[in-house]
Every structure is written in C-alpha cells, then in structure tokens.
A and B are shown apart, each in its own frame.
Chain A
Amino acid sequence: MKRRDFIKQSTLASSLFFVPNFISAFQKVNKATLGHKKLVVIQLAGGNDGLNTIIPYTNDIYYQNRPEISLSKPDLIKVTDNLGFHKNLGPLKNLFDKGYLSVINNVGYPNPNRSHFRSTDIWQTASASDEFLTSGWLGRYVEEYIKKPYGGIEIDDSLSLILKGKNLNGIATKDPAILNRNMQTPYFKKVLDTQSDAHLSEHNLGYLYQTMIEAQSSSKYIYETSKTFKSKQEYPNDPFSKQLKTTAEFINSHLSTSVYYVAMGGFDTHAGQANKQGKLLDVYANAMDAFVKDLEANDTFKDTLILTFSEFGRRLKQNAAQGTDHGAANNVFLIGKNLKTPGFYNEVPDLMNLDSNGDLKYTVDFRSIYATILDKWLAVNDETILNKSFSKMHLV
C-alpha cells in the first residue's frame, strides 16, 4: 500500500484524524516513502574494547601490555599486514571483503570523559566534553527535518537522550503492538476524540496535548505499517538480534522513519574479558549478518547506513582481573552498500603515543563522522544539527 493511500484510509478509519491541522502536517512530510535514506545507529553500551576487536597483531606493545588477554594469531582473522579481526567477527569480515564495511580507527573527542553516563551523553548529544546539551543529535534531526516522533525510533521501551529534540522527540518501542495498545486506551481516546485544535497553541498544556496526539498517531502508524511485513530472514535467538529484526521489519515495511537507535549492552568488561567479549562480538557479528541479509533480500540495504559506536574504548594495559578499564579513543564501524572508503579508513592506533591515562588518543572527532552522515547521507545541513562546523570525511 502506498503511504498516501494509507493515510487516506486511516483518515477514514480513525477518529484521531479529526484534528485538521494534523492531517495537513502528516501530508507535508516531504520524503518519498520508498527509497529515502535510513540511518541505524548502534551503541555497544559499556565501552567495547576496540583493541581486542580489531587487533594490532604485529605490535609488541600490544602484547606486552596484555600478557593475559591479548589475542594471538589463532584467535584472530588476519585482514591486513598489521590488523586482524577478533575470530568471532567472521560475518563482519565477510562484509568487509564485500566492501560493505569501513572501519574508522582512533575516533574520540578532546578531553575524553571516562564515565559511562557522561561519555554516552557526549556521543549522543554530539557535545563537547565540557558542554551539557539537553537534546540528542538524532532528536534534533528528527525535530528539524521530519517533524514527527516516528521520524526516529529507538528499539527499546524508553527513549534515550540521542532521540530527544528540544520540543519534539523520537519514539521508543521494541514491540509496536504493545506500544499501540498502551497508547490507545479508551479514556485517552475519548479525551483526544473530543479535541479540536483550537487551543493547542497554549504553552505547556498545548504541548502536552500535541505530544499526546502525536504519540497516539505515531504509535498507530508504526503498528499498522510495520505489521504489513514479517521478516523471513532467520535471526539468532538473542535479544540484540531481536532488536535488529524489529528494525528490519520497520525498514522493510517502508515506514517513513529515517533514523533508528539500538543499544546492545554488556561491554563493560572489567573482569574476565576474554570470554565475555568473545561472546558479545559473536552475538554482534551474527546479528549484523542476518540484518544485512534481511535488508538485501528486500532491496533496502542500498538505502540503509549502519553506524556502530561505543561510548569509549578501553585502556591498553590490562588490569589485574583479566579485564580492561575505561579508556578513550576507539574504532567505529560503518556498514553500507555504497561506501566511499571501504576497508580501513585511517591509520592504525599509535600505541607509542598514549595520553596521560595510558589511553589511545583520538585523531578523528566523532562529530566529523556525524557531520558527514548528515550532510552526505541524510542530505541535511549538518551545522544546524551539530551547532558547529566539522570537517567532512570521505565516507558516503
């Protein structure tokens, strides 16, 4: 069903659409439903150890600092003369070989913060280290350019800062049927059914009604659109894969959502890292494999870009508990069909030149990656979203 047809039908079907301004706002959405660019942002929450993800396997300093947890040749997949993937990243290596993966090394920001919460905020709001922003970069994008909550979806039950705008936010759901049921309770429906838009401009009260109307219509739209597509792709049976399956169903049902956010937890490996991280990378790689196949089978991979980051990397030197502590710069993955620089984008981490904490120094500001994606992929003005100009990269 074409989007326009859907709107017409649901207009007849739902009393929600009695609000006249609302219909026109809905139709003003300028993106064509088919073929618009989508961005999926994945956070490896907890701080993934990038040095044991992409391993500098010819560097003695790496082995000296990690006597118990370094990965030697049998534990990795060689990719270049000096870098190899963790052996559980086989599916990612396949994407790499097809030219679907860019690995950007040494990504970070000045004066790195080593608190999970703070550094997550910095990455999600695209702020400087000493700046406290109240909205996320994807949220500002949704507010500025999509103007509807369903413009950005987090696959979870509550919304993270990354998808919060100033006056309009994205929406969170990991099960659109439950979301829709929660939003369409009889009493709220009654309240909204009697709403004319005459008083919606009042300050905070108008804002609440507006948010309520948009929440209901967005959840209904997400539910009714996404249920038209059920994924035939087989996914591994774990919660992260399930999140990606839901994301694929959203994308493949041609929901007019532009940005998605998924967090995968568990990367805070202070102790017994080897097993834990090995398992996590296995889950990540297999989920990505299924996700990309699912998108490819439905011809949506070409319009989807997948960015994977972590709030920080981990310290070069292992700790006494066969783990690693919070670090600074880290690698970032970009997965897509038409990458400008597939493979390794930049130089390998310089283990000789660490900061005073013994952590990797950044050479690429993460906001340059954001700016490039906003500018080249989502085709919007990156400076209005990031409040500042960042140099662009040759990514997409």
Chain B
Amino acid sequence: MKTRHLQHLYFRAGFGLDYKAIQQLKKQSKKEIVAKLFEASKKVEPLSLDLSEFESYFNSDYKKPSTVEEKAEQRKLQKLGREKTIEFNAAWINRLTTSEAVLAEKMTLFWANVFVCRDNSVYHMQQYNNMLRRFALGNFGDFVKVMARQASMSKYLNNRQNVKASPNENFARELMELFTLGVGNYTEADIKASARAFTGWSFKRDGSFFLRKRHHDFGEKTFFGQTGNFDGDAIIDIILQQKQCARFICDKIYRYFVNPEPDTIHIEALTNQFYKNYNIKDLMLYLFNSDWFYDEKNIGSKIKSPMELLVGIQKTVPITFQKKKQLLYIQRVMGQVLLYPPNVAGWKGDRNWIDSNTLMLRLKLPAILLNNAVINIDEKGELEDDFEAYYASKNNKQRFIKTTKHWEVFEKEYHDVSQKDIRQTLIIAKIDPDTEALLSRLKFEDQRNYCIQLMSIPEYQLC
C-alpha cells in the first residue's frame, strides 16, 4: 500500500501512525491492512472507573436522605461524582491515545457526536459511554434501540417525563431530527405518534431499563403511513425501513471520515451498502476498501477536532498532565470537552472549530504542551456560576500547563529518522510552498525542536 494512503487511512480511522509502524505496514496490501485494522478492534474493553462509592445509592433499599448526616453524605457523593466525571474525561482521552483498538475508539468518538448526550451522573454516563463503545461497529438498529433505553439519554431528552397522560416529544423529535433521519424527513404527526410509542420508557436507579406500564400508551398509532399498536422498538424499525435513515448516517460518516465537503455519488454508494443490513462494520469495511476514499482531494482535507489534535500530539510525544483540571482547561479553551457537548446537535466540526482565538491557541498548543510556552487565556465562566466564580480566572495564575513529557518515546522512534521523514510522518496535508521554503531555510539541529515546529504550522491542523 502506498505510504500516503496508509497514513490517510490511519489518520481517519485513528489518530495517525508513527514512523516505524508505517515502515512495517506499507509492505502489505490495502486489503490486508484494512483487515488488520478491523481485527484490532474486534475486542473492545469497556472503560470503567471504580465507582463503588456510588453503589449504595443504586441499591434497591436506598432512601431519600432526610437527616442532616444523610444530606451531608449526599453532598459528599455529589462532589465525588463531579471529580469522577473529570477522571472519566481524562481516562477517555487516555484510552483514545493508547488503545490498540484504534478504529473502535474513533468510532466511539464519532457516535458520541451522533447520539449526543450529557449527564451529570458519572455512573449512568459511564454506562452510556460503554454502550457507544459496544455498538460502535455493531448493528445500527440494535444500537438505536439500546441507546433509546439508556438512563442518561432518558434524562437528557426528557423521555422519563414522557407519559401517556401528557406525552413529551423531546426524545421522539431528536431521534428523528438529529439521530436518524434529519430535519424535513418526517411530519409533526410522525413525531406525535412516536412520542406516544415511547411513553412510559423509564429506568431504575441502577440505570437498567423498565417500562412503566401504567404510563405507556398501548393504543394504536399511525407512523409513516403504517398503523399498529407500536412501541418504541417498532417505531425504530419503521425508521430503519426509510432509506433516508441510511443516507443520513452515511452523510455524517462521509463528512467525518472522508471529506467535510460532501460528495453525493459517494454518499449514495455508502447508503446502498448500509441500507442492506445496517451493519456498521460492513459499512466501514466498504468505505476503507473503496478506491475513492484514497482520492488525493480527500487526503489532508479535514480540520482536526481539538481531540484529534490533542491525541495526535500525544501519540508522537506522550504527555502526562500533572493536573487533570488542566487537561479539562485545554479542552475548554479549544471548544471540545469530552462528555460535555454544547447541545443535542453536538459539535459542528471542521471550520467551526476555528476562529482567530482558537486557531492561534491551536497553533501554539505543541509549544504549550511540549515546550513550556505560556498560555494567556482565561476560560469562560459557567452559566450557573455566581458572580465571583464566574469571573474567578480559574487558571489565571497557572500560565503553564504542567506536563511530564516522555520525549524518550519520541527519541526511540525518531533518533535515526531524517527530518524529511519526520515531516512526512507528522504532516499529511500538502505543505504550502512558502512555508515549505521557510522550513527548508531554517536549520533545526535538534529533532525535538523540529518536531515542535512542524506541529506548529497550519498544515499540522489538518488530517
């Protein structure tokens, strides 16, 4: 396989490939390499923190706190929950950086921005996150049905409040608008009917699903021209019958994995494949084995998400953040905090990551993380903060991001690699001729310094 194509595959299916792996893999054929990629993602480990402190809360004999002590205990637990959420965020990023199952993890990240959800309960959020991981390359229909039963989703889109006496349409609407069909591909009557089908869908404290029969509407509904005593699963099955559902997902797949500029012919090809069986793995196999995926116009065409940027840097030079809060801060000022999507529509991606402020920060990020460059940006206050907290410059005094840099990993990989080869490994986009001329004029004695400078040019922002 051509080196450039191999790199392209791994930039999209993962977070890039280091030099030695490229040398090893490039002797093999495309088919072999793609097969290997999927083989490595066959076994996916759930991402689990120790949440045993919360078990008592999820036991069936749990009682609402009434005494002063119990209330204090509950507050302690809430505080712990917030800390654990930060820990989970860091653990997820670490997983993205170190996992061998690169494709499964990249897909998990992708689905987290399709079935967008946010929940303050780390216990339920961990379940949700592992649900995404479990189905990332599975069957889409099963995926949607399990997603619709998650405690976190039920809370996020108010399906818990969706009862026969007074249906709440929030979940039903977003299911079609943002998760499966896209705006304009259903009627208001379809929303009303499907909201009724999801009435009474609820969850127990431990996050497991249960149907509150009293609140479920067992009556007849008409949905997409079909009439029956549909429940939520039946509604999802009818949605899957619409080819638009396959098209909607394939459009997202295309923009995320191939090119932010859609190509209707290639999206239709993906759609035809996906509509056969809604098998996500088959779809991705088809995509990565297609010739057009490797078209020159697709290579280096995508602006990295903050996560792709952050993980990409760490793949080359591993970093340990000494303070997890600083890792969170970096995500915040770049505009992508894992587990905290801005709204149910998710992050917009590509050019939406970029404005004057974020671009200069992103260009400076390698120097901030690897070269102790100062960072002069205060993060925004939260909308729930009081006046003092809102303006407390949370990292104001911490102009340095304290990291431990594992340069030895980089040295081991690159000490005998030419600067030209380092450049071709780290940067996939065609380098602007003027910048290229500049790079060749500047002399870099030191591989580390060269690496940081390469990561600081605009081309590194692309993958």
Contact = CB atoms under 8 A, between A and B. Distances in A.
A178 B458 CA distance: 22
Interface in B407-452: 429-430, 432-435, 437-438, 442
B301 A203 contact: yes
A159 B357 contact: yes
A171 B356 contact: yes
A208 B333 contact: no
Nearest to B433: A199
Contacts of B69: none
Interface stretch (A92-100, A213-221, A342-350): A213-221
Which residue among B344, B356, B390, B433 has the maximum number of chain A CB atoms within 10 Å of its CB? B356
A276 interface: yes
Interface stretch (A21-29, A184-192, A224-232, A360-368): A184-192
Contacts of A283: 387
Interface in A165-223: 166-167, 169-172, 174, 178, 181-183, 185, 187-188, 190-191, 194-196, 198-199, 203-205, 207-209, 211-212, 214-215, 218-219
Nearest to A266: B387
A130 B173 CA distance: 9
A387 to B, nearest CB: 14
A185 B364 contact: yes
Contacts of A167: 351
B364 A149 contact: no
Contacts of A171: 355-357
Contacts of A46: 383-385, 390
A339 interface: no
Given A120-B383, A159-B358, A265-B390, A191 B351 contact: no
A207 B360 contact: no
A265 B457 contact: no
B302 interface: yes
B350 interface: yes
Nearest to B431: A205
A109 to B, nearest CB: 16
A87 B340 CA distance: 39
B379 A157 contact: yes
Contacts of B462: 204-205, 208
Given A149-B356, A164-B352, A266 B390 contact: yes
A359 interface: no
Given A205-B462, A211-B359, A265 B385 contact: yes
A212 B435 CA distance: 13
A35 interface: no
Contacts of A120: 383
Nearest to A150: B356
Given A195-B434, A211-B359, A279-B387, A158 B429 contact: no
Nearest to B118: A117
Contacts of A181: 376
Contacts of B383: 45-46, 116-117, 120, 265, 268, 311
A15 to B, nearest CB: 13
Interface in A109-149: 116-118, 120-121, 130, 132, 134, 149
Contact of A212 (B360, B380, B438): B360
A158 B380 contact: yes
Interface in B308-359: 333, 335, 342-345, 348, 350-352, 354-359
A368 B459 CA distance: 43
Contact of B432 (A45, A166, A205): A205
B343 A121 contact: yes
B384 A212 contact: no
B343 A183 contact: no
A20 B363 CA distance: 24
Contact of A132 (B345, B433, B461): B345
A239 interface: yes
A195 B459 CA distance: 14
Contacts of B380: 156-158, 160, 263
B453 interface: yes
Interface string B364-384: 100000000000111111111
B46 to A, nearest CB: 28
Contacts of B303: 204, 208
Contacts of B376: 157, 178, 181-182
Given A117-B342, A181-B376, A205-B459, A280 B357 contact: no
B443 to A, nearest CB: 13
Nearest to B332: A158
Given A203-B261, A204-B462, A183 B360 contact: yes
Nearest to B429: A205
Contacts of B432: 195, 199, 205, 209
Interface in A233-285: 239-240, 263, 265-266, 268, 276, 279-280, 283
Contacts of B354: 169, 207-208, 211
Contacts of A195: 432, 434-435
A18 to B, nearest CB: 11
A218 B360 CA distance: 13
A239 B356 CA distance: 24
Contacts of B390: 45-46, 265-266
Given A204-B302, A205-B462, A169 B355 contact: yes
Given A204-B303, A265-B385, A158 B438 contact: no
Contacts of A121: 342-343
Contacts of B300: 205
A120 B381 CA distance: 14
B437 A194 contact: yes
Contacts of B458: 191, 205, 208-209, 212
B391 interface: yes
6 contacts: A45-B381, A159-B357, A209-B458, A266-B386, A268-B385, A279-B387
Interface of A: 45-46, 116-118, 120-121, 130, 132, 134, 149, 156-160, 164, 166-167, 169-172, 174, 178, 181-183, 185, 187-188, 190-191, 194-196, 198-199, 203-205, 207-209, 211-212, 214-215, 218-219, 239-240, 263, 265-266, 268, 276, 279-280, 283, 311
The 5 A-B pairs of least Cβ separation, nearest first, read A265-B390, A266-B387, A215-B356, A116-B383, A169-B355
Given A149-B355, A157-B333, A311-B383, 9 more contacts: A132-B345, A157-B378, A172-B357, A183-B360, A198-B433, A199-B434, A204-B351, A219-B356, A283-B387
